[in-house]
Structure 1
Amino acid sequence: MSYRYILFYKPYDVLSQFTDDDPTKAIRKTLKDFIAIPLVYSVGRLDRDSEGLLLLTNDNFVKHRLIDPKFAHPRTYWVQVEKIPDETALQQLTRGVQLSDYRTKPAQVKLLSTEPSLPPREPPIRFRKTVPTAWLELTLTEGRNRQVRKMTAAVGFPTLRLVRVAIAHLSLTGLAPGEWRDLTEVELKQLRQILGNY
C-alpha cells in the first residue's frame, strides 16, 4: 500500500471530517470540499470554529502514535483571548488547570508581544472597543475535546480565535487557509524518527 501524509490548513467553519454526520444541519463544509484524495483521514481533530494545521494520512501506525496520549507529542496553538492575561493566569495554564472532570497536564505558555501574522478570519471575530485582546502561544501534549478553550475560560480569559500552528515539528508555514501539501522527504524522515524509526 502507498501511504500519503498531507498537511492541511483547515479554515474556520470547516468540519475535520469528510462527511457531515448531521443531515439536519444546513450544508456545512467538510474536508471533502478541499481534499480529493481517497482513504486519508485526519489525525486528531480541530473544532469547526478552530483553524489551523491538520495532518491527514492512511498510515494507521502514524495516526495511532500521534493521537495516543502516552506518546505526548506537542501541539502548538496561537490563541486570541479576551483581556490581557496576568502572570497568575499564565502560571495556572503552565501548571495545569482543573476543569470540571479532569486536570490538564502542564503546558508551555507564552504571552505574545505582538499579534501573530495570520490571514484574517472569515467571518472576523467580534470586536469590542472596551475589551482588549491578547495572543498566547500554548503548547500541549494532550488533545482533549475543546481543551484549549476550556483552559483559557477556566482562568478567566475566554478564547476568541484558536489556530493550531504546529504538530511536533510540522508547521503551517507556506500554507494558506484551504491549502494542502504532501510532507517533504525531510519532514517524513523526522516524523519517522520521532515515532520510533518504523
Structure 2
Amino acid sequence: MNDSGHRYFIIHKPFEMVSQFISPDKVRLLGDLDFDFPEGTHAIGRLDNHSEGLLILTTNKKVTKLLFQGEVPHKRTYLVMVKGVVTPEELLQLKTGITIVIAGGADYLTTPCHAAIVEKPAGLFHRPQAFRELLPHTWLEITLTEGKFHQVRKMVMAIGHRCQRLIRTSIEDLELGELAPGHVREIEEHLFFEQLKIRYSANITA
C-alpha cells in the first residue's frame, strides 16, 4: 500500500472490452478481468471497444485532471494497422496536420505529430481478425499530445486508409511492454507519477 492509500494499475485492455466497470449493455467489462480491484478503482482516459493496449486504472480521482487537463500535454503512442499501403506523401500529411471532423461536425486541424511507417512489432499478440494481415496493409506508429474523440482512426481515414487495429503502447514513459491482453500490473505510486511525468506531491491525493 502506498503512503497516500491509493493504488495504481495498468492493464492490457483486450479487443472487444469497454473501459468501464458498469454498463447497461451486454459487453465485456473491466470487472471481467481476473483481478480483484479495490473499491473505487476507475479508468483514466478510455480506449474504445475495438481498441487495445495500455489503460490506466487507479483509486486516485485526481489523476485524470493532472494527466489530461494540465498545462503540459502528455504524449500517447499507438501502433496502428491500416488497410492498404501508406505513401510517403500521406505519411507527411499525418505528421504536419490533417483536417478531421470533431464533435458538432466542425473541422479540426490536428497538431503536428510523430508518425512513422514501422515493421509489424515482434511478439505482437494476435487477434481473431489476423486474416486481414494477409491483405495489403501498413503498420504505423503515431504519437499524439491531444486526444479528440477517435482521433487516430479519423486521421488515418482522412488520408484514405481504414484503421484495422489500434493498440496504445505508452503514455509518456509508462509502457505496455510485454503485458499480455487481459493482464494487470500494479505500480508503486512514486514510479507511476515519475513515468507519467506528473509532479508527485502528497497534496494531489484525494
The TM-score, its normalising length taken from structure 1, stands at: 0.88
Partner SS, residue 156 of structure 1 = coil
Which residue of structure 1 lines up, in the alignment, with residue 21 of structure 2? 18
CA–CA separation in structure 1 for the residues paired with 2:31 and 2:156: 31
Per the alignment, residue 31 of structure 1 pairs with 30
Give 2:204's aligned residue: none
- State how far apart, in whole Å, the 1-side matches of 2:70 and 2:87 are: 29
Uncovered stretches (5+) of structure 1, i.e. residues with no partner: none
1:48-127 to 2 correspondence within 5 Å? 48-68=49-69, 70-100=71-101, 101=106, 102-112=108-118, 114-117=119-122, 118-121=124-127, 123-125=128-130, 127=132
Aligned residue for 1:135, secondary structure, equals: strand
Aligned partners of 1:152 and 1:158 also within 8 Å = yes
Alignment CA distance shift 1:109-1:72 (3 Å)? same
Which residue among 178, 185, 205 is the counterpart of 1:181? 185
Q: Note if contact 1:11-1:178 (Cα within 8 Å) is conserved in structure 2.
A: yes
State the identity %: 36
Q: Between Structure 1 and Structure 2, how many residues are aligned?
A: 190
CA RMSD across the alignment = 1.9
Sort the Cα spacing of 1:128 and 1:183 in 2 relative to 1 into closer, same or farther, 3 A: closer
Distance across 2 between alignment mates of 1:142 and 1:153 = 17
Question: Does structure 2 conserve the Cα–Cα contact (< 8 Å) formed by 1:57 and 1:63?
Answer: no
2:151 to 147, 152, 165: 147
Q: CA deviation at 1:127?
A: 2.3
After superposition, the Cα gap between the structure-2 partners of 1:14 and 1:189, relative to the gap in structure 1 and judged at 3 Å, is: closer
Residue 186 (structure 1) shift: 6.2
| Paired amino acid for 1:33 | D
SS in 2 for 1:99: strand
Moved more, 4-13 or 175-184: 175-184
1:135 pairs with 139, 144, 151, which one?
139
